Amino acid sequence: MEHMGTAISGDNVSVSWLNALELLLREDRDVVNLAVSIRNSLEEDPRIRAILDRFIASRRADGSVEPVSTVANTIFPSALYIPRLGSRARSHLYEMSEIGRPVSRRRNRFGTYFERLVAWPLEKETLNQLERTVTRIRGLLARGRKTDNSLELGVFDPRDDEELTHAKFCSVVGIPAGARQPNHGISLSQSHQFESHGR
């Protein structure tokens, strides 16, 4: 086996993305289990974003690529989160995303990552993983804990995703409570390498 995974990091979203992209270009193939760590996950470099937006705009005609804002919205629809609502901000986010879901589903037949974070389908109801994790983090911080091994939110659903054999999935979003900065995030993009061990 060549290796089990690759870790990339950067100071903000843009630099981390750029470092990952450069790695993929160097490798010129799929990278197995790429983990990207972003030290300041709420920061973006507008110069990198502007270049990327121009590049994507020039290729939007055939619909093969989506704008950065659209991709970001599938992970977290920030326009629906209104911090000035204080303690009601999360419930407002969940309510608005639920109302918009029937329309969103027309473009995203299998739902978005965010839908799976807040409305993971169970047999008769849905599970809000995000709310459960936020509550758990608050409980840990209140008890002075800075690490935990259960702060993961799953987005891979084998009932739907097995049909998408060409797609790459980010199957876990980890939130390390012990990170020095509260907005530190990790995403793991899993790709699998198969080996033969003889016949």
| Residues 6+ positions from 183 with CB-CB distance below 8 Å | 40, 41, 42
Residues 24-63 within binding reach of another protein (CB under 8 A) = 60, 63
* Residue choice 101, 151, 156, 161 for contact with another protein (CB under 8 A): 101
First to last CA, the chain: 17
Query: CA distances (Å), 124 to each of 113, 121, 127, 138, 157, in order?
Result: 20, 8, 10, 28, 16
Using a 10 angstrom Cβ sphere, with 0-12 exposed, 13-18 middle and 19 or more buried, the burial of residue 96 is middle
Distance CA 98, CA 16 (A): 31
Distance from chain centroid for Cα 173 = 6
* Residue choice 27, 50, 59, 91 for contact with another protein (CB under 8 A): 91
- Which two tokens mark 167? 């797609």
* Residue choice 10, 77, 111, 185 for contact with another protein (CB under 8 A): 77
What is the smallest separation between the CB atom of 153 and another protein, expressed in angstroms? Answer: 18
Between 104 and 190, CB nearer to another protein:
104
Between 7 and 164, CB nearer to another protein:
164
The answer to whether residue 146 forms part of the interface with another protein (CB under 8 A) is: no
Between 67 and 178, CB nearer to another protein:
67
What is the smallest separation between the CB atom of 98 and another protein, expressed in angstroms? Answer: 5
What is the smallest separation between the CB atom of 117 and another protein, expressed in angstroms? Answer: 14
Q: Which amino acid is at 119?
A: A
The answer to whether residue 66 forms part of the interface with another protein (CB under 8 A) is: yes
- Interface residues with another protein (CB under 8 A)? 60, 63, 66-67, 69-70, 73, 77, 79-80, 82, 84-85, 91-92, 94-104, 106-107, 128
